Structure 1
Amino acid sequence: MERNHGDFPCRWSFREDGLRYYFFSNEGQPPEPIHVHVRGRGCDAKIWLAPDISIAESYGFNSRELSNILHIVAENRDLIVRASHEHFGI
């Protein structure tokens, strides 16, 4: 079931350390490599999961916050990849 989280529709998300990790339901045209969006405290980021976990875009997060985000994504990589595959039918 799709839920509307604020102004962005997302199919899947989790929260950690006051941040929301999610992907958009309408992404994938054309398909991009697996990634997750992060939002919180007025900041946004897009994190690639392949080939390596890395920052695609970041607006407002400082380097310490980004380091923590990358750590959280690494710890939850399997969960994020599995959810993305299920949602997008990969």
Structure 2
Amino acid sequence: MAPTVVRDGQFRLFFFSREELRIHVHVSHPDGEAKFWLTPQITLATSTGLSTQQLNEAKTVVLAHLEEIQNAWHHHFGP
């Protein structure tokens, strides 16, 4: 299960159920994907197929929707 949290432009932010406990979000784009850790700060964990510019845009989208992502995480996985 991979619930979509946010769609913003060409980016879809989601997470996988039962993947790992550390809060993070996956970002899908037509050109590739990335994974960002959200704590203790927003940090790129992995990426494939995205340019540096697209990664910067993805990070900006994550930052813009951080509270929404965190709320969705806690709602889905619990406190």
Unaligned runs of 5+ in 1: 1-8
Deviation at 1:83, TM superposition (A): 0.6
Kindly name which structure, 1 or 2, has the bigger radius of gyration based on alpha carbons: 1
The TM-score, its normalising length taken from structure 1, stands at 0.80
SS of aligned partner of 1:10: coil
For these two proteins, the number of residue pairs brought into alignment is 79
Residue 5 (structure 2) pairs with residue 16 (structure 1): no
**Greater relative contact order (Cα 8 A, min sep 6): structure 1 or 2?**
2
What are the residue-to-residue correspondences of 1:3-82 with 2, within 5 Å?
Answer: 9-28=1-20, 31=21, 33-82=22-71
Deviation at 1:42, TM superposition (A): 3.6
Query: Given that residues 12 and 83 in structure 1 are in contact (C-alpha distance below 8 angstroms), is that contact kept between their aligned partners in structure 2?
Result: no
The TM-score, its normalising length taken from structure 2, stands at 0.90
SS of aligned partner of 1:80: helix
